[in-house]
Amino acid sequence: MVVPKIIKKLDRFEITLFLALFAFSVLLMWKTFQVTPDGNLKLASRVWSDFAATIPLIRSFSLGSNFPPQYPIFAGPPIRYHFAFFATVGLMEKIGIRLDWALNSLSTMSFFLLTIAIYYLGKIIFKSKKVGILSVILFLFNGSWGFLEFFRKNPISLNILDDMVKNREFSSFGPYDGKIVSAFWSLNIFTNQRHLALGYASFLFLILGFYIFSKHPGKLTWAKTLLMGIFLGLFPFIHLAAFAMMGIALATFFLIYPKLRTKLLVVGTIAIILAIPQYLYMGSPAGETKLFNPGYLVEDKTLYGYLTYWFMNLGIGLILGPTGFILANKSQRKLLIPFIVLFIIGNLFQFSPEVAANHKFFNLYSTGANIFVAYLLVKLWKNKYIGKVGFSVLLLSLTLTGIIDLFPILNDKYITLEDIPNNKVANFIKESTPKDAVFLNAQFLYDPASIAGRKIFMGWPYFPWGTGYDTHKRGQAMENILDSSNIYSMCNLLEKEGLDYIEIQKPTTLEDIYINYSFFEENFEKIYYDPKNEFSIYKPGTSCDRLTPSIN
């Protein structure tokens, strides 16, 4: 296989490089999530929102019962989110590995593998370690013009380096802050979406493998073909977007590598056969998504608007990448074609309710294009004085935003979340309710039932909406239950929605929800009450069971 042979050829320099990349990966993941000595969850503020979906998913496998999988913050229908990474973390916690060790170890290895894949792509394609190293640097420190926003807020002075090191805000966070440079270029996407690096790494290793096999078609044996097909076919549950992008790459290689077509067809066929049951299980989005939706996050949909947007987001890489592509030989140029196809598709189509999710196409395009930028920079360095000056200026421009945007991650403040057993409500739920119980939740974010691994009716609507669930209908059902004054209709609703327990907090933290507190107090059995937070858990089953003949 390709990877074992690569490992055997490591020299001392590469071992040192890999140790440094591994240490950086450890720092990135452990800096943003830990378990405190007293057993609570310590979250960097920038991951706090995304982890409100991550923690419930993990806990549904470690402390709950979630087979066949459902989205634990939208109980009922089959899960529509690629869950395998987090299920693995959950199973690790279930066998006794502490949550931060379980999540951070897999996250670290995934990110480390991604940097290794980038290094070897640059090194093998251009036969240059320098290209490989620069490719990794350009990946770690993005080349957008976001640093201009930083200097608007922090004018250049003698204290500018100190301002950079102490910085706690990303230079630009479009479209959420109204700026043109996207939020999706910083390393924040990997600390928040812990499974993302694994998807990207797998894509790049697939690209590298087929590039090598295109040079030596005989090395792609039928056994390797079978394994690659199985590997690809398992990805819908691991990372659905990565599966789609690998499929696009496979189709592209089918066109440009005629000697591999038969085996590429077999790989694709095996992958599709394995993927279809996974896709059918997850199902299609509840609402309609306009598939052909050109523009991505570009507001001014004119040629000038597109060029401006991508120049601001890709920086001078928008020019240097194509220049490196032209200077490369024909074989090397073929490798960039799948990345270009991803860039085009990401600009033309929308595959989920949130168009910003297309950032994955552009992250990978930028990673591929940066390899050709690195190649150009190495060629430039070989020229005497002017070349070295040009190299230095260009490299600074291509990495400055990424360097600035690293410090908000390193300097981020923490939010501590009470975990079991310190979280008394979650601990009660864990000890006193069935693992497959479904709760009508009192909180959208980090509900105690979620921390205890139980499924809840609907978490923060943004998360299930983004994966294609009908949050409007679910929200109306939640309102109808909480505002009910008729026990017969209430019990019908609870049975219809599969709810076993009801949480009520006074005052409620649920936005735009009215709760008929006295109705629950008078009609249902209260099995838990926290007087400090006025948090109650009701078990409606006893009351509703008495009414069953009347209801039916």
- pLDDT at position 551 over 60: no
Question: 415: closest CA among 145, 47, 102, 138?
Answer: 47
CATH entry 3.40.50 includes domain 424-551: yes
Query: What is the maximum span of the chain, computed from C-alpha positions, in angstroms?
Result: 91
Name the DSSP class of 447: -
- How is residue 448 written in tokens? 């105690």
Going by their DSSP bridges, the two strands 455-456 and 501-505 should be labelled as unpaired
| CB-based burial, 34-73: b 16+ in 10 Å, e otherwise | bbeeeebbbbbebbbebbbbbbbbbbbbbbbebeebbbbb
Q: Kindly write down the DSSP assignment for every residue of 490-516, as one continuous string.
A: HHHHHHHHT--EEEEESS--STT----
The model's pLDDT over 147-188, given as tens digits with 9 standing for 90+, comes to 999 999 999 999 999 999 999 999 999 999 999 999 999 999
- Record the tokens describing residue 461, joined without a space: 């609507």
Q: Quick one: average pLDDT of 475-492? A: 94
State the chain's mean pLDDT as an integer: 95
Give phi and psi for 135, each to the nearest 5.
-60, -40
Instruction: Please state the three-class secondary structure of 299-321 as a single string.
Output: CCCCHHHHHHHHHHHHCCHHHHH
Residue 550 has pLDDT above 80, yes or no: no
Give the per-residue pLDDT at 284: 85
3-class DSSP assignment, residue 380: helix
User: pTM of the prediction?
Assistant: 0.95
C-alpha atoms less than 13 angstroms from C-alpha of 8 in its C-beta half-sphere: 5
Asked if 343 contacts 362 with a C-beta cutoff of 8 angstroms, the reply is yes
CB 527 within 8 A of CB 543: no
pLDDT digits (tens, 9 = 90+) for 230-278: 999 999 999 999 999 999 999 999 999 999 999 999 999 999 999 999 9
**Whether residue 391 has pLDDT greater than 60:** yes
346 band by pLDDT with thresholds 50, 70 and 90? very high
3-state secondary structure of 417: strand
Residue 319 has pLDDT above 90, yes or no: yes
379: CB partners within 8 A, 6+ apart: 327
> Tell me, what's the pLDDT at 425?
98
pLDDT tens profile 267-314: 999 999 999 999 999 998 887 778 999 999 999 999 999 999 999 999
Reported confidence tier of residue 7, pLDDT bands at 50, 70, 90: low
Q: How far is CA 176 from each of CA 179, 390, 550, rounded to the nearest angstrom?
A: 8, 35, 52
Categorize the per-residue pLDDT at 40 as very low, low, confident or very high, splitting at 50, 70 and 90.
Answer: very high
- As beta bridge partners, residue 41 has 35, 417
pLDDT in tens, 493-543: 999 999 999 999 999 999 889 999 999 999 999 999 999 999 999 999 888
User: In this model, does residue 215 exceed pLDDT 70?
Assistant: yes
User: Burial of 152 by CB count in 10 Å (0-12 exposed, 13-18 middle, 19+ buried)?
Assistant: exposed
Q: What percentage of the chain has pLDDT greater than the value 90?
A: 93
The residues of the chain that CATH labels 3.40.50 are 424-551
Per residue in 45-72, pLDDT tens?
999 999 999 999 999 999 999 999 999 9
Q: What pLDDT sits at residue 511?
A: 87
The SS3 of residue 414 is strand
Please provide the DSSP assignment of 23-81 as one string. HHHHHHHHTTEEE-TTS-EEEEHHHHHHHHHHHHHHHHHHTS--SS-B-TTS-SSBP-S
Q: Is the pLDDT of residue 3 over 60?
A: no
For residue 339, how far is the Cα from the chain centroid? 19
pLDDT at residue 377, as a whole number: 98
Under the banding of pLDDT at 50, 70 and 90, the label for residue 549 is low
Per-residue pLDDT band at 106 (split at 50, 70, 90): very high
What pLDDT is recorded for position 548?
Answer: 63
- Given a cut of 60, whether residue 5 has pLDDT beyond it is no
